[in-house]
Structure 1
Amino acid sequence: MKDYKGFENKSVVVLGYGKSGKSAVNALVTLGANVTLTTNEVFSDEESEQKMNGWGVEIVDGHHPIHLLNDADFIVKNPGIPYSIPFLVEATERNIPIVTEVEIAHLLSEAPIYALTGTNGKTTCTHLLGEMLENGGSHPILCGNIGYPATDAAMEATPDDTLVMELSSFQLLGTETFRPNIAVITNIYEAHLDYHGSKEEYKKAKLRIFENMTADDLLIFNNNQKELLEGQDISCQVQYFDIKNKADAYSDGEYLIVHDEKIMPIDELVLKGNHNIENILATLLVAKAHGVSDEAIIKTLQSFGGIPHRLERLGTVNDVTYYNDSKATNNLATSFGLQSFTTPVIWIAGGLDRGQSLEDLKPFTAHVKEIITFGETQRKFVELANELGIQVETTINPNSAIALAQAHAVAGDTVLFSPACASWDQYKDYERRGDHFKEGFSQLK
């Protein structure tokens, strides 16, 4: 960990106490800051409360009183807390810097940072890159949006490690000096409009990833969205990936090709689907820049089968196959899932209503025989099914939906849980939602 003095004797308010808040408090205390933790919830973790009291941390729970801003030099906020709450609006008016713990991680890390973001594919790329680096003899530490706080990783890392950091738009919006050595943007589509307000603001948040990068750094970008970089002030090197057209990494339909070198045949990949080939191509550019051997790359690609909750095959019951795609939290991700099957599909979908239209999903419903929907958006899915002339049922949650799907499925069908919506109307995250679906699968007979 770097000997960073920028927080020493500074008054810092940590806003929200999830994993990132806990990590931020720990780091800031270590760095000599005077820390106040404020959370809307009643603080009930007695062990942590005693520990933080021993560190001199003031805990203010149940609300965010404005008077905490009077002496604040910085605010480190939970990424999910919107800037529209009165506490942050007032902080902005007072010109108090508001960052996420990713900013602290950058200031502390002795290890190089490879940062990955995008509307879809970033988690797959993060895990895939981690395996490639490990198979190549390096020591990656996966962190960020995948669950292990970036600040914890930065405090742990040595110069011989590599931080492989998945980042959301929420996290990136709270950065000021953050500078990765390599950045990947898999794609940018409409998402999180309830938080950002518009696609343009969402795009701006994503593009912050390369804001401070220099000529020594590398940005990897989707060639099919090259126009999104027009007018941007880019000081770093840029490489492109493309599933069809020639680029720094591309596919000719038979092989994966990087810098004009054939890496391996596509039919040897375990990870299937065109969207995953795009993910692989983006990851290959990072691995090559890092110096991973072709042997290690091929070994990884011949064994890597994806991640939990992303088109995860659960198994077959009575000749009906069940897939958990809980990580599909938007239309694009669900369209990938729907395109993966030519068998009759019972599609389970629904969740948080972010105001997003389902119109974009219509072209991908040719094999859907029934929709089972739940959550805030169930009315929209009922309307979609009625427009398409598809049978539709409503239910409580994914767990109850799987039992309903089994009752309606016949041999040869596929049951696909691909919600196209975030989980936060009923669950704390897509993992818990997916686990609840899997619990339902385990009860099938």
Structure 2
Amino acid sequence: MKTITDYRNKKVLVLGLAKSGVSAALLLHELGALVTVNDLKPFSENPEAQSLLEKGIKVICGEHPEDLLDEGFQLVVKNPGIPYSNFLIEDAISRKIPVITEVELAYKISEAEFIGITGTNGKTTTTTLIFEMLKEGQKNPLIAGNIGTVASGVAKEATSENKIVIELSSFQLMGIREFRPHIAIITNLYEAHLDYHGTREQYVEAKKNIYKNQREEDFLILNFNQEECRQLAEETKATVIPFSTEEYLENGVSVKDGYIYFNGEKVIEYSKVVLPGKFNLENILASVAAAKLTGVTNDAIEQVLTTFHGVKHRLQFVRDINGTLFYNDSKATNILATRMALTSFKQPIVLLAGGLDRGNGFDELIPYLDNVKALITFGETKDKLIQTGEKAGIESLHAVNNVEEAVPLAYSLSQPGDVVLLSPACASWDQYKNFEIRGDIFINAVHKLV
């Protein structure tokens, strides 16, 4: 960890706890800041706040006092989930108090270079692939961000021999000032999180922050399948490395004659790759680019791509039962993600879908349901999805109470060679605390079948 004095004797407010808030508060305290933590959860129900108080950090719990900023704070470190419409954040901005996220702290203290990954879909898979490739290539990677450990905790332990591979959300990227990854990746850009950002334009602007501080000696890996990402290449100072599944790129990463190429060099025969789906090929190409830029050999890349079956809950292969293949894609919490999952298979599909009703319909899925032989729905949206299935001409339509009920029914409707796919197209919060719990219930139900 770098020894820095930037925060010594500065009054800093950490707004919102959870893992990132706790880590930020402890780090700032260690760096000599005068830290106050403010969290909505009452102190008696807040073990994180209790542990911070024991270390001498000031804690205010149960509310966000309206006059809190009158204490003269010089910096606010906010939890990424707290929107900028929060009155304390608006107040801080009006007072010209800098507002950052914990990722910025991690960058300030880190001795290691960062490889930052953002985008609408594919971030976790790409982050994990890069980490595995660098690990296989003996490049001493550490993994951080939305996947793995909180960034500042990782940065404290990192040395100049390490590479920090970090998944970054738009929420986190809005709160950076100096953060500068040596390699940045934008996997793709679609409309998302408009309840937080307000407009698509603001969402994209947040994503652009990943390269705003990059220089010519840094690299920006962009998805050239998308015209919007191509345009970003005109804005950055970094060296652009494009990737595409649709055209061969002499300078970049692409597929030609059944091989993945990097800057004209054959890396691996694509048929050897075990991770399914066109959208996963995009993730693979981005990962190959980052690995090659870091000096990983083709042999190490091939070792990973011939054994990596996916990240848990993200088109995760679960089991083959008498020729029926079960896949857990519980992370598909929106229609776009389910569309991508459906295009990953040519086999007949028994689709399990449903969840939180956000008021939208599902007719966008109809063009992607050609391979769906049966649709099993659950949750608040089960009737809406049945209606979509009727419009798509699916004859086998079933509504059940939950995922656990859906699994044995799906198996009974399947034949050898079919795929049973959990890809809900909805958030989980109507029935499950998060998509991970939903996915784990699916996995457990699959393992109970035989």
Q: TM-score, normalised by structure 2?
A: 0.91
CA 1:12–1:332 in 2, change beyond 3 Å: closer, same or farther?
Answer: same
Aligned to 2:166: 165
Cα drift, residue 57 of structure 1: 1.4
Aligned to 2:243: 241
CA 1:196–1:54 in 2, change beyond 3 Å: closer, same or farther?
Answer: same
Tell me the secondary structure at the aligned position of residue 66 of structure 1.
coil
Amino acid at match of 1:54: E
Distance in 2 (alpha carbons) for counterparts of 1:151 and 1:363: 44
1:372 and 2:382 correspond: no
Amino acid at match of 1:337: A
CA 1:199–1:49 in 2, change beyond 3 Å: closer, same or farther?
Answer: closer
CA 1:91–1:394 in 2, change beyond 3 Å: closer, same or farther?
Answer: farther
Aligned to 1:89: 90
CA RMSD of aligned residues (A): 2.3
Aligned to 1:17: 17
Distance in 2 (alpha carbons) for counterparts of 1:50 and 1:243: 51
Identify the match of residue 299 of structure 2 among 291, 295, 299.
Answer: 295
Distance in 2 (alpha carbons) for counterparts of 1:421 and 1:62: 31
1:345 and 2:346 correspond: no
Cα drift, residue 406 of structure 1: 4.0
Aligned to 2:326: 322
Identify the match of residue 430 of structure 1 among 404, 410, 435.
Answer: 435
Aligned to 1:384: 388
Q: Is the 8 A contact 2:17 2:48 kept in 1?
A: no
Cα drift, residue 217 of structure 1: 0.8
1:224 and 2:229 correspond: no
Distance in 2 (alpha carbons) for counterparts of 1:345 and 1:268: 24
Q: Residues 82-137 of structure 1, C-alpha deviation per residue, up to 9 Å, x if partnerless?
A: 22233333333333322211111111111000001111111111111111111111
Q: Residues 242-276 of structure 1, C-alpha deviation per residue, up to 9 Å, x if partnerless?
A: 11312211001410011001112111112222222
Tell me the secondary structure at the aligned position of residue 219 of structure 1.
strand
Aligned to 1:402: 407
For residues 52-91 of structure 1, what are the structure 2 equivalents within 5 Å?
52-71=52-71, 72-91=73-92
Aligned to 2:28: 28
Tell me the secondary structure at the aligned position of residue 243 of structure 2.
strand
Amino acid at match of 1:346: V
**Greater displacement, 351-360 / 76-85:** 351-360
Aligned to 1:190: 191
Distance in 2 (alpha carbons) for counterparts of 1:377 and 1:275: 26
**Greater displacement, 423-432 / 198-207:** 423-432
Q: Residues 320-356 of structure 1, C-alpha deviation per residue, up to 9 Å, x if partnerless?
A: 4321111222323212221233333221122344565
Cα drift, residue 233 of structure 1: 3.3
CA 1:373–1:263 in 2, change beyond 3 Å: closer, same or farther?
Answer: same
**Greater displacement, 137-146 / 230-239:** 230-239
Q: Is the 8 A contact 1:372 1:394 kept in 2?
A: yes
1:210 and 2:188 correspond: no
Aligned to 1:260: 264
Q: Is the 8 A contact 1:103 1:175 kept in 2?
A: yes
Cα drift, residue 308 of structure 1: 1.3
**Greater displacement, 184-193 / 321-330:** 321-330
CA 1:75–1:177 in 2, change beyond 3 Å: closer, same or farther?
Answer: same
Distance in 1 (alpha carbons) for counterparts of 2:95 and 2:302: 53
Amino acid at match of 2:444: E
Tell me the secondary structure at the aligned position of residue 97 of structure 2.
coil
CA 1:420–1:302 in 2, change beyond 3 Å: closer, same or farther?
Answer: same
CA 1:404–1:279 in 2, change beyond 3 Å: closer, same or farther?
Answer: same
Amino acid at match of 2:333: T
Q: Is the 8 A contact 2:188 2:229 kept in 1?
A: no
Distance in 2 (alpha carbons) for counterparts of 1:66 and 1:427: 34
Aligned to 1:415: 420
Amino acid at match of 2:164: L
Distance in 2 (alpha carbons) for counterparts of 1:253 and 1:197: 43
Cα drift, residue 319 of structure 1: 5.0
Amino acid at match of 1:271: L
Amino acid at match of 2:419: T
Aligned to 2:107: 106
CA 1:156–1:392 in 2, change beyond 3 Å: closer, same or farther?
Answer: same
Q: Is the 8 A contact 1:249 1:285 kept in 2?
A: yes
Aligned to 2:3: 3
Amino acid at match of 2:272: E
1:313 and 2:317 correspond: yes
Cα drift, residue 279 of structure 1: 1.3
Q: Is the 8 A contact 1:194 1:355 kept in 2?
A: no
Cα drift, residue 366 of structure 1: 0.6
Amino acid at match of 1:108: I
Cα drift, residue 387 of structure 1: 2.5
Q: TM-score, normalised by structure 1?
A: 0.92
Cα drift, residue 396 of structure 1: 4.0
How many residues are paired up? 445
Q: Is the 8 A contact 1:352 1:376 kept in 2?
A: yes
**Greater displacement, 134-143 / 89-98:** 89-98
CA 1:89–1:163 in 2, change beyond 3 Å: closer, same or farther?
Answer: same
Q: Residues 219-262 of structure 1, C-alpha deviation per residue, up to 9 Å, x if partnerless?
A: 00001124345376311111100113122110014100110011
Cα drift, residue 299 of structure 1: 2.0
Cα drift, residue 412 of structure 1: 4.9
Q: Is the 8 A contact 1:216 1:236 kept in 2?
A: yes
